[in-house]
Amino acid sequence: MKYAVVTFGCRVNQADSLAVESALTSAGAEAVSADRADVVLVNTCSVTASADQGARQTIRRIHRENPAARVVVTGCFASRAGADVAALAGVEMVVPNLDKPGLVATLLPMLTPDLPADGPCGRTPGPGLMGRTAWTLRAQTGCSESCSYCIIPTTRGPSQSRPLADIVAELRRVVAAGYKEVALTGVHLGAWGRDLPPGSGMLAGLLRVLAAEPGVFRVRVSSLEPMDCTAEVLEVIAAASNRFAAHLHLPLQHAAPGILTAMRRPYSADQFTRLVAEVRRCMPDAAIGSDVIVGFPGESDGDFDELAGYLEDSPLTHLHVFPYSDRPGTVAEALAGKVHGTVVKARAQRLRAISRVLADRFRASQAGRIRPALTIEDGRVAITDNYLRVAVPPGHGRNEWIAALVPAVVPADASATA
């Protein structure tokens, strides 16, 4: 029988979908496009209103193009607004995030009662699953923080760390399957270990264990909150340059003190500046990305100008820009001073223009350098350890380590991802 998985949102969702796809493929099911599938899993996001709308539109399109498909919806939108999702035409089942561990057991009987349940710990298909060359390994889910704009603690629950032995077992399994890059991710990755029994260690300890694992593979550490990117964490990553990619993502969210306080972010722009400077000192060629929210309630023209000016002068290399939208049930939803949508859109466009300047500046600083890189897709593009996309001469296939010359010009198909 045939299945399809459609994934929205963060790398944690990508990791969850990869685990499901791996188990279904191992058990003999065939992955196809959603318009040909017997069962379609839609793994949703709810970080913004546009994410909710995108999920709704996709579910409606799947049902319109393939009315016979049995549609199962999971993820954060399904967890936040399960009744609304269940009411959409074609949806047979809604599985909230807390029930995600049982997804494979739910989907296998829907495909065919006789399909053997190999499970997520069975044979892992090699690179190419879901079109991905790198494997996304989830070390943690949930969040126990209280950022005023965020719905994730409601949709995913408090922070939950995977045991170290489980993480290492998955790493060994995917490396044995041929994966040469692993993205280590979590909803609040820096909180790993805090909820485990005493002696289990914290994030720096986990990174040390991964650094000591044998094999030819590289770990790309996913988003780290600024307060969790400690000197010890940086020391481990910088010291094991053959194991960890020279790439960090550190969400700033804003630079104006009043907005950071209203967001309930536990650091200042000055502290963030010192952190980024330390990253640059330890890893001079590292890519340093960040998230920023524009149009947060109460954001004045002056606040926005402070953010834009901060970013223009920063050593960051790329930005993810999120226009603010109310999330029902959050503290920020009740805040006064909502910014008009047209203003939010204009401000977001300005920050995206700044992001392009930062990216071009970083690429120019790396032009002419030789960096380790992994080929993706058909082998004509590679991703360097410091997150640059480079064109690759003919003769290479997917998933090959190469020494790549960084050109000053971005390849035409630079939109490819690992």
DSSP assignment letter at 210: H
Give the model's pLDDT for residue 44: 97
Cα–Cα distance for residue pair 343/402, rounded to 1 Å: 45
Name the amino acid, one letter, at 202: M
DSSP assignment letter at 297: T
> Sheet holding 2-7: strands in order across?
30-31, 2-7, 39-44, 70-75, 91-95
In a structure prediction context, what are the per-residue pLDDT tens digits for the chain, which is 418 residues long?
899 999 999 999 999 999 999 999 988 899 999 999 999 999 999 988 889 999 999 999 999 999 999 999 999 999 999 999 999 999 999 999 999 999 999 998 888 765 554 444 457 888 888 788 999 999 999 999 999 999 999 999 999 999 999 999 999 999 999 999 999 999 999 999 999 998 888 999 999 999 999 999 999 999 999 999 999 999 999 999 999 999 999 999 999 999 999 999 999 999 999 999 999 999 999 999 999 999 999 999 999 999 999 999 999 999 999 999 999 999 999 999 999 999 999 999 999 999 999 999 999 999 999 999 999 988 999 999 999 999 999 999 999 999 999 997 665 554 445 6
**Which pTM was predicted?**
0.91
Cα–Cα distance for residue pair 385/241, rounded to 1 Å: 9
Cα–Cα distance for residue pair 277/269, rounded to 1 Å: 12
Give the model's pLDDT for residue 114: 57
Supply angle C-alpha 401, 407, 409, rounded to 5.
Answer: 125
Give the model's pLDDT for residue 284: 97
Four-CA torsion 383, 388, 391, 394, nearest 10 degrees: -30
Query: Phi and psi for 73 in degrees, rounded to 5?
Result: -120, 130
